[in-house]
Amino acid sequence: MSRYTLEKMLDRTRPGMFISGATGRQEGWVDDQNGQTKIGEYCAIAYQIWWLGRLIEIDGTLQYGDIIERTLLNHVYAAQNPEDGRERYFVNINGKRSYEKGAHCCQGNFHRSLARMPEYIFYTLDNGIAVNLYASCETEISIEGMKVRLEQRTDYPVSGDIEMTIEPSQEKDFALRLRIPKWAGTFNVTVNKQPVVTKQVKGGVEIRRKWKKGDAVRLELPMESRWIQGRGFNEGYYALMRGPQVFCLSERYNPNLKDYSWRDITVDPESLGPPSQEDQRVKQRNGLMCTATGWSPTSDRSQPADVNLVFTDFPEESAMETYYKLPDATDTMEDELYR
Ligand SMILES: [Zn+2]
């Protein structure tokens, strides 16, 4: 049943999973990709993360971590207002998001699941340690009765540079498995600034060596923007992603768009600027923003672009739309999580 569900979530033509990592509408299964109302009941999302974490525990495959990461950095962070702490029951993909009044099940599960997120960063394997999520943190893991202290330093996903320090209490031979996200076409990994031989494993790579106190691992993942093809309701529309993050157009940063059908705006992909944190709100939540220009729904695309656009990371609380039109489908791709 578990494999069957995963297959349906990631089905190439009728995926149950939305681009934000959410699954379900109005607390039920859907695969039409219509993200307008009541998307991703938080309780279901919490259990989805716990279930994927269990699958990693069963076979050490870090590919499930790609889905956990997608869900955490997009749907989960969007499920709480970063300014006043209010939590959402659902987080829509297409159209305005709302809050539920009063107390509800999803608030409890939101707190439970966030409190448990540190459990999904490191895993112990038969032959060593796996790093599933990238975030600044430190921990102590026991393998074969010996303590290993690990530390990660990174501003991920703003950059794809992750530094790790490995400190076994004494020299020890074990494998360090790193998740290489499917969106990363290339990557670079060094130990003590030297290139290392890595072994390809499902969802990542493994470095096996005699680790000693202070060994420094550096992983560099390329953070490039890409346009993701919509499915079902969003067929013919495209979403902007960079690394694990989905972007959106929001009311706060795009007051000029309020009279338009947001998803019928055509973005000029050539005009996409570099990501920045120049807005204080965005910086505070370690989010990102970037600018572009585009054409309003009824304008003539043979004429110069007539609207300025500001994209922000998906958790932006005034988000209005995740999918837009592009002049053509060149340089667009399927969501890498679908298979
Ligand atoms: Zn709930």
What is the DSSP track for 103-128?
Answer: --HHHHHHHHHHHHGGGGTEEEETTE
User: Cα(157) to centroid of ligand 1, in Å?
Assistant: 28
Tens of pLDDT, residue by residue over 301-322, are: 999 999 999 999 999 999 999 9
User: Cα(76) to centroid of ligand 1, in Å?
Assistant: 13
If you average pLDDT over every residue of the chain, what do you get? 96
User: Cα(99) to centroid of ligand 1, in Å?
Assistant: 13
User: Can you tell me which residue has the tokens 């590919």?
Assistant: 63
User: Cα(27) to centroid of ligand 1, in Å?
Assistant: 8
User: Cα(45) to centroid of ligand 1, in Å?
Assistant: 9
User: Cα(30) to centroid of ligand 1, in Å?
Assistant: 17
User: Cα(17) to centroid of ligand 1, in Å?
Assistant: 18
User: Cα(39) to centroid of ligand 1, in Å?
Assistant: 12
User: Cα(137) to centroid of ligand 1, in Å?
Assistant: 29
Give the integer Cα–Cα distance in Å for 250 and 229.
20
Q: Which two tokens stand for residue 120?
A: 């999904």
Banded model confidence at residue 102, pLDDT cuts 50, 70, 90: confident
User: Cα(5) to centroid of ligand 1, in Å?
Assistant: 20
User: Cα(109) to centroid of ligand 1, in Å?
Assistant: 7
Under 8 Å CB-to-CB from 320, ≥6 apart: which residues? 95, 96, 248, 249, 250, 251, 254, 257, 262
Domain boundaries, the chain: 2-119, 121-220, 225-333
Q: Which amino acid is at 244?
A: P
Q: Which CATH class is domain 121-220?
A: mainly beta
Banded model confidence at residue 103, pLDDT cuts 50, 70, 90: confident
The pLDDT of residue 126 is: 86
User: Cα(324) to centroid of ligand 1, in Å?
Assistant: 30
User: Cα(22) to centroid of ligand 1, in Å?
Assistant: 13
Q: What pTM value is reported for the model?
A: 0.96
Tens of pLDDT, residue by residue over 216-248, are: 999 999 999 999 999 999 999 999 999 999 999
pLDDT at 55 over 90: yes
Q: 225: which strand partners?
A: 242
User: Cα(107) to centroid of ligand 1, in Å?
Assistant: 7
The pLDDT of residue 338 is: 95
User: Cα(110) to centroid of ligand 1, in Å?
Assistant: 9
